[in-house]
Amino acid sequence: MFDFQTLIQLIVSGISVGMIYGVVAFGYQLTFATSKTLNFGQGEALMLGSLAGFTIMTQIGSIFGIPLPIAYVLMLPFVLIFGMAQGALVEWLGVRQAIKTKSEAGWIMATIALGIIFKNLAENIWGRDTFTFPNPLPEQAIQIMGIRILPMEVLIVCGAIALMAAVEMFNRRSIYGKAVVATAADIGAAGLMGVNTAQVITLSYALSSLTAAFAGVLVAPVTLTGAGLGSALGLKAFAVAIIGGLTSGVGVVVGGVLLGITDRLTGYYISTGYQDVPGLVLLLLVLSFKPSGLFGKSAIKKV
């Protein structure tokens, strides 16, 4: 017999994981907007953020004996800065040269290679095993009409929305944000305004990895963390960016939630072995029938 409550339960937990996909996909959009390039190591940026967050948080906790929720909050600025530095490094090592020489494919290989290097690095520092990330919020689920919601899941949704809103505010309100938007719209004309567009591209990589690192510390308390955390998430988020459209902010949220929910439903009703299939089928369908994405405006560049 069909259990309606289970369905709702799956949808609710799908939403929170979908928001993570959305945030990481949002990160893909940030670099695509300014430079028409993507960081294929975005998943590894998420993984590194989560592991760096783990280390920072346990250090803060052990040295000062600070309670977990406070240690979590104190850890956030460090992880965000770490993410920015990591993203800037990726741009500097892997993307800048490709852009300068107008290489069509150089950045693809370079960002994939850097992702693999980061993964190996993480395996050597933190080991190959997965481990638990300390949960800053109560493990006890909140019950709403029989639906169980983890406090951390609520935080994921709120945090993801807050982060995207913050970047949006930066772009709309600050002069540097406007420079980013101008660079995305017309890089040559932005240069004529006196904007150092190479720096803007670096900034977009920094912000992109910042969002991934933030997603890493949001998701880790409800999953496990470890050097292998990134690959699957990065790929899923990439699918979301394509499904939602590389140019649409709403698209990644809708696309992320859509994929998060189909994942969960397939995992429960069919088999966890097929969990990844519907999302990827959706990806193929979108690529065939609406390559600019469900919400995208312009066609994406051949990759």
Partner 1 sequence: MLTVENLVAGYGKVRVLQGISLDVQQGQLVTLIGSNGAGKTTTLRALSGMIKPDFGSIRIGGADITGLSSHEITRKGVAHSPEGRRVFPVLSVEDNLVMGAFTRLTGSRPKGDVKADLARMFDLFPRLAERRLQLAGTLSGGEQQMLAMARALMLNPEVLLLDEPSMGLAPKLVEEVFSTISRLKAAKVTMLLVEQFAAAALEVADYGYVLENGRIAASGPAERLKNDPAVKAAYLGAAH
DSSP state of 273: G
Q: What are φ and ψ of residue 144, in 5° steps? A: -125, 110
Identify residues 181-220 at the interface with partner 1 (CB under 8 A).
Answer: 181-182, 184-186, 188-197
Give whichever of 50 and 183 is closer to partner 1, judged by the CB atom: 183
CA nearest 230: which of 115, 90, 86, 132?
115
- Binding to partner 1 by CB under 8 A, coded x per residue (else -) over 86-125, reads ----------------------------------------
Cβ at position 22, least distance to partner 1 in Å? 22
**Residues 6 or more apart from 96 whose CB is under 8 A from it?**
198, 201, 202
CA nearest 18: which of 165, 160, 138?
160
Give whichever of 33 and 252 is closer to partner 1, judged by the CB atom: 33
Question: CA 183 to CA 177: how far, in whole Å?
Answer: 10
Cβ at position 175, least distance to partner 1 in Å? 5
Cβ at position 30, least distance to partner 1 in Å? 15
Give whichever of 182 and 261 is closer to partner 1, judged by the CB atom: 182
Give whichever of 148 and 178 is closer to partner 1, judged by the CB atom: 178
Cβ at position 188, least distance to partner 1 in Å? 6
Cβ at position 32, least distance to partner 1 in Å? 15
Residue 112 Ramachandran class (φ > 0 left, ψ -120 to 50 alpha, else beta):
alpha
Cβ at position 166, least distance to partner 1 in Å? 19
Give whichever of 145 and 192 is closer to partner 1, judged by the CB atom: 192
Identify residues 230-259 at the interface with partner 1 (CB under 8 A).
Answer: none
Q: How far is CA 207 from CA 26, 31, 163, 239, in A?
A: 10, 8, 11, 20
Are the C-beta atoms of residues 205 and 107 closer than 8 Å to each other? no
Give whichever of 62 and 196 is closer to partner 1, judged by the CB atom: 196
**CA 115, chain centre distance (Å):** 14
User: 10 Å Cβ neighbour count for 238?
Assistant: 20
Question: CA 205 to CA 202: how far, in whole Å?
Answer: 5
Residues binding partner 1: number (CB under 8 A): 19
- Binding to partner 1 by CB under 8 A, coded x per residue (else -) over 139-178, reads ------------------------------------xx-x
Give whichever of 128 and 173 is closer to partner 1, judged by the CB atom: 173
Question: CA 227 to CA 99: how far, in whole Å?
Answer: 30
Query: 225 pairs with which residues across the strands?
Result: 131
CA nearest 142: which of 129, 128, 155?
155
Tokens of 296: 């995208």
By CB under 8 A, residue 180 contacts partner 1: no
Give whichever of 158 and 193 is closer to partner 1, judged by the CB atom: 193
Cβ at position 102, least distance to partner 1 in Å? 11
Q: Which residues of this chain interact with partner 1, rule CB under 8 A?
A: 175-176, 178-179, 181-182, 184-186, 188-197
